[in-house]
Structure 1
Amino acid sequence: MREQMGGERPAKVEQVAAALAALGMYDGENTPKEHSEEAARLGGPDSLSSDGAPVSLITEYSTTARPDRRIVEVYDSDAYLGDDEALQRSRTRVVAGNGYHLYLHSLQPDIEVQVTIRVWDTPRKPPEDTEGTVPVSLESETGQLVVNQVTFGPAGMMDLPRPGVYDGHAAWSGRDATAAYYDTCLQRAVDERWGPEQIGAAWKQCSTAEQYTLDLWFVRESEPEDKDEDEDDE
């Protein structure tokens, strides 16, 4: 990794944009708010914690998943058993879990959604440009998370920086617009007598991306298992 020379502070995103504009490599049309949002998305110097301190992105993983039965699951690879109570809560909270198993609740069951998991070095403010956000907590004793489709199985797996308990928040966008597009397609399919191929093509042509993002940060190690309880279970 390159060291900064002479103790200089890294350039802010606005300074970089101005320099590129002067060189004719950028038209300068983005607003300061857009610069800040993009820097925050990438974990740059404008990504801040709740107290205003810079936050660095450690790792990021993204995959698409079909929300079969209007659900996508995220859980530790050793905690695949479901939780009906958490599943029901997700229908009103959009994202809910039991500490090991998260449910992401879509409003439609067929159009693929984007699931992104980001791990930060310290707590981070929730994003502002979303349809909604809720706090979450997820424990992974294996250090590996699964993004799962209820009927079709795993859509992907992510290795966390370390096993343990992660706090954070879940955010979503494009959920309502994708559901509206889905309902419109269903109505047209009936009115115009679409076949399966035409319906499948319509799902892929949705112009809005339904996105779920988990922003997490490590808080502590997992509690060691109680040997006495293990022996009682046997």
Structure 2
Amino acid sequence: MPPADDPRLEQLAIALSTVGYLGGQRCPLCQDEILMPSPYASYELTLRPDHRIVILRDIDCDAAVGDTSAIEHAARHVAAGNGYALHLHTVQNLLATQVRVETWTGPPADEGVDTGWTSAAAVDLDCPTGLLVLGDGMSASIDGIDPPEGPGRYRIAVYHQGRERAELAYREVVHAMGPRAGRADSELQARYGAVEKYLLRMWWQQALPDTDDDDS
């Protein structure tokens, strides 16, 4: 191991601090390439969310779903977390909304997001089992979101796209409602379906604190 005053150690610290942002650098000590974080897998859910709420959580954290404070915060800021559930607040619930979850090897750079996405929030999510479910808490959901690191504390970056257009489309749908709205609704669904989109990028940060009781 190099001595503490080896200047290469400072170079290594700088290089490691930029992993996920620059990529392709080489370690000053061993000259191996420092790999940029990359996605493991992605999962998509298209739904018309009840109550305009979509939730991502560990399968064992259902008690966090009805957190009024987190829901109110999400209504103001698009997304909010309480440590055990991530809440998304959509602008409407009459047209299909698309939510994509990506699991990553490390923190991805904002620059890697396609043009058109707006950053909304970054929150921590505790996952005791490492198995997650995404849905509206009512009728629409997908499970099987299982990042390979398993249980732990994850960081989730939230992005959105098409909210303003979806709000205008929602007003058009409401205006078209009536006794003969069936055909108009189908046409509007075809025209505006999934115009409102959300991207959740998550990566493992650390193990969860030990919660074993030490009373004995």
**Coarse TM-score class (shorter-chain normalised):** 0.7 to 0.9
Q: Supply the distance in 1 between the matched residues of 2:168 and 2:77 (Cα, whole angstroms).
A: 19
1:103 Cα deviation from its structure 2 partner: 0.8
Aligned to 1:194: 180
1:158 counterpart letter in structure 2? I
RMSD: 2.4
Aligned to 2:138: 151
Q: CA 1:207–1:116 in structure 2 vs 1: closer, same or farther (change >3 Å)?
A: closer
TM-score normalised per structure 2: 0.74
Aligned to 1:71: 53
Aligned to 1:222: 208
- Choose the corresponding residue for 2:158, options 170, 173, 176: 170
1:206 counterpart letter in structure 2? Y
2:46 counterpart letter in structure 1? T
Paired residue secondary structure (1:52): coil
Q: CA 1:115–1:73 in structure 2 vs 1: closer, same or farther (change >3 Å)?
A: same
Aligned to 2:103: 119
Paired residue secondary structure (2:129): coil
Give the unaligned 5+ runs of structure 2.
1-17, 24-35
1:153 Cα deviation from its structure 2 partner: 4.7
Counterparts of 1:73-112 in structure 2, within 5 Å, are 73-81=55-63, 82=65, 83-112=67-96
Q: CA 1:207–1:196 in structure 2 vs 1: closer, same or farther (change >3 Å)?
A: closer
1:214 Cα deviation from its structure 2 partner: 0.9
- Choose the corresponding residue for 1:141, options 125, 128, 149: 128
Q: Supply the distance in 1 between the matched residues of 2:90 and 2:109 (Cα, whole angstroms).
A: 24
Q: Supply the distance in 1 between the matched residues of 2:182 and 2:176 (Cα, whole angstroms).
A: 13
Q: CA 1:105–1:214 in structure 2 vs 1: closer, same or farther (change >3 Å)?
A: same
1:208 Cα deviation from its structure 2 partner: 5.5
Q: CA 1:49–1:114 in structure 2 vs 1: closer, same or farther (change >3 Å)?
A: farther
Aligned to 2:167: 179
Q: CA 1:55–1:183 in structure 2 vs 1: closer, same or farther (change >3 Å)?
A: same
TM-score normalised per structure 1: 0.69
Q: CA 1:205–1:77 in structure 2 vs 1: closer, same or farther (change >3 Å)?
A: same
Q: Supply the distance in 1 between the matched residues of 2:20 and 2:105 (Cα, whole angstroms).
A: 13
Q: Supply the distance in 1 between the matched residues of 2:163 and 2:109 (Cα, whole angstroms).
A: 21
1:187 counterpart letter in structure 2? H
Aligned to 1:59: 41
List per-residue Cα deviations over 1:82-104 (Å, max 9, x = no partner).
Answer: 21111110011101010110111
Pairing 1:129–2:102 present: no
Paired residue secondary structure (1:211): strand
1:145 counterpart letter in structure 2? L
Q: Supply the distance in 2 between the matched residues of 1:225 and 1:78 (Cα, whole angstroms).
A: 15
Equivalent residues of 1:121, 1:218 under 8 A apart: yes
Equivalent pairs: percent with the same residue? Answer: 26
Give the unaligned 5+ runs of structure 1.
1-47
